[in-house]
């Protein structure tokens, strides 16, 4: 991979000069007039879309690229997640894929010249039942076979690693063991988004915020010409070839459109006449006031539907499973807060006096097998990087890298071949439910 040359304006000398003179910092990415055509249009300026744009430019020299977002950079799932990274999945396909993402996260600070605060602090997935323990053993074996550092440990080792957890046998849901994955950890999600945006911009990619795609123009195919401004729907048939997109700022001609959205993935795909097996659910998260750092690892409990980590500032960041109903609504609920507090206190009774500062929600596009949909679709020139459920942030770098290769070479890279859309029709599912944090 091409390592980005540091622009002089972000060099150490630039930092010192600005410190002395008080000169303000340049914009990390610029605004542009919309061109009438681009080689590639990417919908979604989250980590996936921005990473794809960056790797198109850095690895393949394709720079006539527009990244469009109806909101702002990193304002969707990329800014609403709990910033956990790991590669301890259940299927060999999943493990190889997420491990490449961890590699890219490991070198990201140097590659993008930005402090992404990567903290490789270890990741514990607790098991409270024999069934859960069996799944952890299964994952550990699959992980080890692929050279991933994962093993099942018992309550004493868990206590030694994370003393604040109640590992006594007298709790309502005693901790029987855990999958311990030392390479897992957390990273600063905004810095990741901003790093890719700034690096892509420096290489000539145009990022257009507040630019909503209202339709995708497709010529030919079973559905005939489409892109009439109706915004899609089942009436459009499959096949045909992408020729452009309609946006709130005008039409753009392009032979390639990448759908890198989360939350609205199936609506965008429908504009091109492509049906996705996705239902969209909210996922709520919450953060406490800051306290002295006491929680050294990421802790996940699938049975208690909760995961928690502590930021460098000292706040505890909590997440749960997706809400059990499909909606695009992102309001928080008291049910969530009560359930979360009850479950967290089962694990860490000592934090009962900590105060929650705020809670929020993001949208998760869930597929039937808890794996993403990546690659080509029946519409020529329309590609998808979607279906990211509750695990999209950690896959941003590898997805960007692989989708860029897919676009540049016109061939599906081996690493993402298992995640093609046609697997649902062919019955080749990649079942990751047992490793999807608390997706079950
Ligand atoms: O899959 O690790 C995960 C995860 C963390 C938060 C939501 N999903």
Closest residue by Cα to atom 7, ligand 1, is 390
Ligand 1 pocket mutation pick from 82, 301, 316 by most atoms within 8 angstroms of CB: 82
- Ligand 1 centre to CA of 437 (Å) is 5
Statement to judge: residues 267 and 399 lie in one domain: yes
Statement to judge: residues 187 and 260 lie in one domain: yes
Lowest mean pLDDT across 18-22, 98-102, 134-138, 179-183 = 18-22
- Ligand 1 centre to CA of 159 (Å) is 22
- Ligand 1 centre to CA of 337 (Å) is 18
β-bridge mates for residue 185, sequence order: 85
Kindly report, residue by residue over 330-347, the tens digit of the pLDDT: 999 999 999 999 999 999
Return mean pLDDT, the chain: 93
The Cα 383–Cα 379 span in angstroms is 8
Ligand 1 atom closest to 85 (CA): 2
Chosen domain end from 332, 366, 400: 366
Statement to judge: residues 265 and 291 lie in one domain: no
Ligand 1 residue neighbourhood (C-beta within 6 Å): 82, 84, 86, 307, 319, 390-391, 436-437
The Cα 216–Cα 125 span in angstroms is 42
Statement to judge: residues 247 and 98 lie in one domain: yes
5 pLDDT band, cuts 50/70/90, is low
- Ligand 1 centre to CA of 84 (Å) is 6
Chosen domain end from 349, 366, 383: 366
Give the count of domains, the chain: 2
Statement to judge: residues 289 and 430 lie in one domain: no
Ligand 1 pocket mutation pick from 262, 283, 394, 435 by most atoms within 8 angstroms of CB: 394
Is there a domain that residue 412 lies in? yes
Kindly report, residue by residue over 366-386, the tens digit of the pLDDT: 999 999 999 999 999 999 999
Closest residue by Cα to atom 3, ligand 1, is 437
Statement to judge: residues 108 and 189 lie in one domain: yes
Structural domain that includes position 290: 279-366
Chosen domain end from 340, 366, 392: 366
9 pLDDT band, cuts 50/70/90, is low
Is there a domain that residue 166 lies in? no
Statement to judge: residues 207 and 112 lie in one domain: yes
Is there a domain that residue 63 lies in? yes
Is residue 22 predicted with pLDDT exceeding 50? yes
Statement to judge: residues 288 and 269 lie in one domain: no
The Cα 218–Cα 318 span in angstroms is 43
- Ligand 1 centre to CA of 424 (Å) is 23
- Ligand 1 centre to CA of 378 (Å) is 30
- Ligand 1 centre to CA of 82 (Å) is 7
Contacts of 298 by beta carbon, 8 Å cutoff, 6+ apart: 84, 86, 121, 122, 123, 124, 184, 185, 186, 307, 308, 309
237 pLDDT band, cuts 50/70/90, is low
Is residue 231 predicted with pLDDT exceeding 70? no
Kindly report the CATH number assigned to the domain that includes residue 379. Answer: 3.50.50.60
Statement to judge: residues 375 and 362 lie in one domain: no
Kindly report the CATH number assigned to the domain that includes residue 290. Answer: 3.30.9.10
Average pLDDT estimate for 205-234: 80
DSSP E strands: which ranges in 135-197? Answer: 151-153, 177-181, 185-186
């Amino acid at each position: 991979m091409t390592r980005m040359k540091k622009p002089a304006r972000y060099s150490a000398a630039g930092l010192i000069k600005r410190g002395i003179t008080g000169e303000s910092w340049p914009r990390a990415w610029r605004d542009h007039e919309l061109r009438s055509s681009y080689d590639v249009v990417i919908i979604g300026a989250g980590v996936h879309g921005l990473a794809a744009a960056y790797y198109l430019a850095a690895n393949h020299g394709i720079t006539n690229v527009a990244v469009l977002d109806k909101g702002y950079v990193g304002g969707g799932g990329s800014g609403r997640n709990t910033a956990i990274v790991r590669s301890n999945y259940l299927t060999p396909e999943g493990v190889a894929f997420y491990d490449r993402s961890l590699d890219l996260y490991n070198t990201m600070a140097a590659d993008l010249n930005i402090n992404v605060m990567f903290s490789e602090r270890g990741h514990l997935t607790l098991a409270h039942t024999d069934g859960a323990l069996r799944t952890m053993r299964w994952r550990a074996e699959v992980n080890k076979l692929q050279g991933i550092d994962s093993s099942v440990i018992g309550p004493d080792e868990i206590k030694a690693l994370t003393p604040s957890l109640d590992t006594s046998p007298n709790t309502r849901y005693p901790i029987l063991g855990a999958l311990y994955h030392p390479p897992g950890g957390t990273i600063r999600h905004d810095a990741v988004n901003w790093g890719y945006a700034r690096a892509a911009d420096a290489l000539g990619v145009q990022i257009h915020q507040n630019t909503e795609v209202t339709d995708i123009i497709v010529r030919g195919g079973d559905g005939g010409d489409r892109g009439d401004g109706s915004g899609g729907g089942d009436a459009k048939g499959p096949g045909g070839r992408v020729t452009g997109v309609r946006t709130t700022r005008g039409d753009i001609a392009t032979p390639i459109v990448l759908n890198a959205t989360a939350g609205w993935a199936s609506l965008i795909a429908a504009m091109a006449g492509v049906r996705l097996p996705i239902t969209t659910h909210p996922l709520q998260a919450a953060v406490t006031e800051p306290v002295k750092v006491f929680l050294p690892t990421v802790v996940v409990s699938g049975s208690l539907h909760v995961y928690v980590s502590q930021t460098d500032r000292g706040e505890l960041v909590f997440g749960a499973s997706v809400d059990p109903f499909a909606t695009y609504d992102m309001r928080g609920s008291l049910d969530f807060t009560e359930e979360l507090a009850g479950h967290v206190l089962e694990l860490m009774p000592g934090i009962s006096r900590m105060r929650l500062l705020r809670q929020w929600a993001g949208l998760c596009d869930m597929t039937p097998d808890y794996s993403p949909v990546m690659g080509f679709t029946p519409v020529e020139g329309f590609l998808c990087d979607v279906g990211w459920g509750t695990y999209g942030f950690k896959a941003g770098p590898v997805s960007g890298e692989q989708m860029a290769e897919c676009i540049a070479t016109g061939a599906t890279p081996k690493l993402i071949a298992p995640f093609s859309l046609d697997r649902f029709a062919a019955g080749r599912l990649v079942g990751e439910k047992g490793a999807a944090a608390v997706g079950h």
